[in-house]
Amino acid sequence: MSREPIRIANFSGYFGDRRTAIDEAMAGDRFDVLMGDYLAEITLASLSAAHQRDPSRGYVEYFVDQLRPHLADIADRGIKVVTNAGGFHPARLADVLRAEIAAAGADLRVAHVEGDNILADLPRLRAAGHRLDNLDGGAPLTDWSATPIAANAYLGGWGIAAALRAGADIVVCGRVTDASLTAGPTAWWHGWAVDDWDRLAGAVVAGHIIECGPHAVGGNFSGFLDIPHRRVPGFPIAEIAADGSSVITKHARDGGAVTVDTVTAQIVYEIQGPLYLNPDVSVHLDRVRVDDAGPDRVEVSGATGSPPPPTTKVAMFGPIGFSVVNSVYVTAPHVQDKVALIREQIEYDLPEGVALEVTPLGTAADDPESQWAATVPLRIMATAPTAEPLAAADMTVRLGSLYLQSIPGFFHDVVAGLSSTPRPRIDYWPGLLPMTEIAHRVVLDDGRAIDIDVPPQTTTLMQPHHPEPEEVPLSDRVTRVPLGTVVHARSGDKGGNSNVGVWTPDPRVWLWLRRFLTTDEIRRLVPETKDLDIVRHELPELRAVHFVFRGLLGTGGSSNTRVDQVGKAIGEYLRARQVLIPDDLLVHEVDPGTDTAR
């Protein structure tokens, strides 16, 4: 007999997310599991630096403060807690939590999952012939100029499931995949087998939807103007049934909204295409459906799964130099000429080895109605392989000396000040390693260890090839308006690649969108991509077109010099571009039952 759906409540989507989230969840609706995701690729880079400075640290310390007030209540209510706040030291975080639990007099058992940290194993693995080929370009790790200071393999959810099955109440992980934090508890709850591919695929999709917290409840959503009580959107809950289908909802008392579009936004976020790879299962996203199931309830179904790939990703980080960033301001007229002069003056007599990037942010209004409408911020980034040339360049002195000899109206934000302190730049290498080389295991509170086997079956699948659509026929009546008038978009990062998903809730617009938004058109609309390799896919069930811009973010968010470091605003930029849209798509349909526009 099938067990009732498991209810998993998210309380964190990234390192730095709202720290009151556990307080809010504990005061909200019923749930079975508290799940918190803290790790992103760029977060791992910062945590690795902290761990290098002090090997006893490297976990998310404020998670302890979040959990401490609720330990007794968690024990009384039989709630399970699963998180990747362990970062680079899950064993240490588990010990810290045990001390907190003892002080609170609570009856809770803590286990931790390990095996993801393979930094010490790299020499052995390379000697054994493992190339750790780059996931994007295929080059071997020996081609990387950086020396790794961190190497973490992405683990699946079966270690979490084993810990819960052994009686753990709190499971602390390092670098498991984000979706594993949901798939692991779900597999434990429903007693799934390791080859229940379709069910596992459904749980991974649900985990992907709720892993980013308020994203699924209207946060960072292109339709934010339609979200009620958007000042403080709540955190999502996934109700996952025994067949892998789910309902995404939220705590009734909290702000925000869960809609078909907020859920779709998260499905297309930070993916590489219709094939979504996980160490436990390969998920076919092109079969996923989302349907309105009532107020703040969205049903997600149709996910199918195949055996996972034989390899898993290893996130490696290494220092590649230092940077200093400052901002000054340029006021119209003659903005381009003024920027050119500032660049020339800063570059004059720069120490050898220092590279400069000068980026104007925005444009001045033609007839500005305020000083600020005439003002363009100018971002100035200096980089070098070592800190010494940047210290010698002394950007504080260099920029501060331009007031009487540079452009008319030169100024910077005196309150914010100028900086000359070099900050490390950390590069990213996503390598591939056979899962058979990973010592995935669970360590229980009594010291016993449970080894986690690799999946019984693996297969290598490639992203499907979707041909470009036929050219869209010209309509007799069109209007030039922003693309965002009729579509939503969400963009993000996967290492050095940026992705953007563009979708519409309107079936009529979908017929136009899929034919209009070709690869050639996206190159025109996003000029930064014109020389890049672009991958285009369609997700008809979601009425979405999805693009991957390979290399737009350099080698990864932690090292690239773009202002929008991890590509979060590319989707909104795309929606702001004006295009010719048929007039009949700009007219809302009328519901004959209510005689009102919809």
CA torsion, ordered 386, 391, 394, 395, to nearest 10 deg:
40
For residue 212, what pLDDT is reported? 97
What number of other Cβ atoms are within 10 A of residue 296's Cβ?
21
What is the arithmetic mean of pLDDT over 82-91? 96
- pLDDT tens digit sequence for 317-350: 999 999 999 999 999 999 999 999 999 999 999 9
Do 304 and 323 belong together in one domain? Answer: no
Do 300 and 378 belong together in one domain? Answer: no
Q: Does residue 7 sit in helix, strand or coil?
A: strand
Do 357 and 384 belong together in one domain? Answer: yes
For residue 597, what pLDDT is reported? 36
Give the percent of the chain with pLDDT over 70: 98
For residue 167, what pLDDT is reported? 98
**Cα distance between residue 438 and residue 243, in whole Å:** 29
Do 298 and 333 belong together in one domain? Answer: no
Q: Let me know if residue 584 belongs to a domain.
A: yes
Contact (Cβ atoms closer than 8 angstroms) between residue 412 and residue 326: yes
Range of the domain at 294: 6-116+154-308
Q: Let me know if residue 19 belongs to a domain.
A: yes
Query: Is the pLDDT assigned to residue 31 strictly greater than 50?
Result: yes
For residue 193, what pLDDT is reported? 98
What is the arithmetic mean of pLDDT over 131-137? 94
For residue 396, what pLDDT is reported? 96
What is the arithmetic mean of pLDDT over 229-257? 97
Do 406 and 485 belong together in one domain? Answer: no
Name which of 22-31, 447-456, 478-487, 586-595 the model is least confident about.
Answer: 586-595
Do 279 and 322 belong together in one domain? Answer: no
Residues near 466 by Cβ (< 8 Å), separated by ≥ 6?
536, 537, 538
Do 301 and 322 belong together in one domain? Answer: no
Say how many domains are in the chain.
3
Do 489 and 545 belong together in one domain? Answer: yes
Q: Which residue among 392, 427, 462 closes a domain?
A: 427
- pLDDT tens digit sequence for 566-581: 899 999 999 999 999 9
Query: Is the pLDDT assigned to residue 263 strictly greater than 60?
Result: yes
Query: Is the pLDDT assigned to residue 590 strictly greater than 50?
Result: no
pLDDT band at 559; cut points 50, 70, 90: confident
Q: Let me know if residue 76 belongs to a domain.
A: yes
For residue 34, what pLDDT is reported? 98
Do 256 and 393 belong together in one domain? Answer: no
- Cα-based angle 163, 166, 171 (whole degrees, multiple of 5): 30
For residue 366, what pLDDT is reported? 95
Q: Let me know if residue 372 belongs to a domain.
A: yes
Q: Let me know if residue 144 belongs to a domain.
A: no
Closest by CA position to 265, among listed 219, 199, 323, 332: 219
Q: Which residue among 427, 451, 486 closes a domain?
A: 427
pLDDT band at 588; cut points 50, 70, 90: low
What is the arithmetic mean of pLDDT over 85-98? 96
Q: Let me know if residue 132 belongs to a domain.
A: no
CATH of the domain at 362: 3.30.70
Query: Is the pLDDT assigned to residue 123 strictly greater than 80?
Result: yes
Do 358 and 409 belong together in one domain? Answer: yes
Q: Which residue among 427, 446, 465 closes a domain?
A: 427
Query: Is the pLDDT assigned to residue 431 strictly greater than 90?
Result: yes
Q: What's the pTM value of the predicted model, to 2 decimals? A: 0.95
- pLDDT tens digit sequence for 160-200: 999 999 999 999 999 999 999 999 999 999 999 999 999 99
Contact (Cβ atoms closer than 8 angstroms) between residue 69 and residue 450: no
pLDDT greater at residue 50 or residue 392: 392
Q: Let me know if residue 351 belongs to a domain.
A: yes
pLDDT band at 2; cut points 50, 70, 90: low
The neighbouring-strand residues paired with 378 are 328, 360
For residue 584, what pLDDT is reported? 94
pLDDT band at 54; cut points 50, 70, 90: confident
Query: Is the pLDDT assigned to residue 593 strictly greater than 50?
Result: no
- pLDDT tens digit sequence for 457-481: 999 999 999 999 988 777 889 999 9
Mean pLDDT for the chain overall: 95
**Cα distance between residue 319 and residue 586, in whole Å:** 50
Sort 161 into a burial class: Cβ within 10 Å, 0-12 / 13-18 / 19+. buried
pLDDT band at 592; cut points 50, 70, 90: very low
For residue 289, what pLDDT is reported? 98
Contact (Cβ atoms closer than 8 angstroms) between residue 203 and residue 191: no
CA torsion, ordered 131, 441, 317, 92, to nearest 10 deg:
-160
Q: Let me know if residue 434 belongs to a domain.
A: no
Give the percent of the chain with pLDDT over 90: 90
Do 244 and 329 belong together in one domain? Answer: no
Do 71 and 198 belong together in one domain? Answer: yes
